[in-house]
Amino acid sequence: MKTKIAVVLTTLIAAPLFAQSPRSTIKAIVVHEFGGPEVLKYEDVPKPEPKENEVLIRVIAAGVNPVDGMVRAGMFAKHSKNAFSMIPGYDVAGIVEKTGAKLEKYKPGDAVYAYIGLKEGGGYAEYAVATDKEVSPKPKSLTFEEAAAVPLAAETAWQALFDTAKLSAGQTVLIHGGSGGVGSFAIQIAKARGAKVFATASTPNQDLLKQLGADVAIDYTKQKFEDIGKDVDVVMDSIGKDTLARSYGVVKKGGFIVSLVARPNPAELEKHGIRGAPMSVDPNSAELAEITKLIDARKVKVIVSQTFALTDAAKAQEQAATGHTRGKIVLKVADAPK
């Protein structure tokens, strides 16, 4: 009897202590070996701890990008810090839970979003850390799921068009893959900057190109873009191969081709009297803040075509790998706060 009372008392005294103690493990998608979508495992992992320039984010939604599957398959093995037991995912939206000692800009409870660099990742999880260079306040006009769709793709569009190709108001740009993740942002931010936009996509996505603001929508399955978009100042190529090869001739002298997927051929650039460069997106919270302004001013909308549960990350990556995603794909990790 005495033992029973002691057990009950111990339980009663200890229960509130346990109830208050923070969780030390979280649920995440983990990759232990490079391979196909089947190597994505849903597991318990230690909760991350923010360094002095980082925030700990309670993730509500994580964005999915084509690169996620490439990292999983080992294509970026050389650049990956944690080749194994790595957590994929480079886009998150959520709530700040804790801030590092030197990051005074944020406080617990703030709604934020971030593009976390490819070397770190960690987005497919209940909690993730992001540095001050990666994180920015979440657009007020978006849900967390919409916000998670933005950072990597929109920053890519921004850096390709403005930082690399120096697109300016009054110029003309041809955006290949206009209905995809990067293209859907590229059309809108180019229009917001005052450019004239030609954009390509397949037949079912012609309506989307128009809805996003493209001045001229080109159906690459029925039309040759070089017959329609001639003498443009800038081409943004997200397709490569034949599409890039046929793009040199549509750029006016002195114009620019920026490619997200290949290095433009120097001989072709010279032959046409144009310039060109590949680009690789870097996290940039200042640019993300500029994108936020466009979103909250309703100049940029976010197209989320599919939302998956975190446990269905493999299905989400299979869709992202098709190369035919309309807008963006998102993982729902938790319910949004009321």
Residues near ligand NAP (CB under 6 A): 65-67, 153, 156, 176-177, 179-183, 200-202, 205, 220, 238-239, 243, 260-261, 279-281, 323-325
Closest CB to ligand NAP among 39 and 70?
Answer: 70
Do residues 218 and 183 make contact, with C-beta atoms less than 8 angstroms apart?
no
Q: How far is the CB of 265 from ligand NAP (least distance, A)?
A: 17
- Rounded to the nearest 10°, the torsion over CA 229, 235, 238, 239 is 50
Closest CB to ligand NAP among 153 and 331?
Answer: 153
Closest CB to ligand NAP among 59 and 208?
Answer: 208
Q: How far is the CB of 281 from ligand NAP (least distance, A)?
A: 4
Q: How far is the CB of 165 from ligand NAP (least distance, A)?
A: 13
Closest CB to ligand NAP among 126 and 155?
Answer: 155
CA–CA gap between residue 266 and residue 277 (Å, rounded): 9
Closest CB to ligand NAP among 100 and 181?
Answer: 181
In this structure, which amino acid lies at residue 85? S
Do residues 112 and 94 make contact, with C-beta atoms less than 8 angstroms apart?
yes
Bridge partner list, 174: 198, 235
CA–CA gap between residue 9 and residue 318 (Å, rounded): 52
Do residues 145 and 138 make contact, with C-beta atoms less than 8 angstroms apart?
no
Q: How far is the CB of 329 from ligand NAP (least distance, A)?
A: 8
CA–CA gap between residue 293 and residue 323 (Å, rounded): 29
Q: How far is the CB of 304 from ligand NAP (least distance, A)?
A: 11
CA–CA gap between residue 116 and residue 312 (Å, rounded): 21
Residue nearest ligand NAP (C-beta atom): 180
- The SS3 call for residue 106 is coil
Closest CB to ligand NAP among 50 and 180?
Answer: 180
Q: How far is the CB of 15 from ligand NAP (least distance, A)?
A: 48
Give me 241's structure tokens.
């191969």
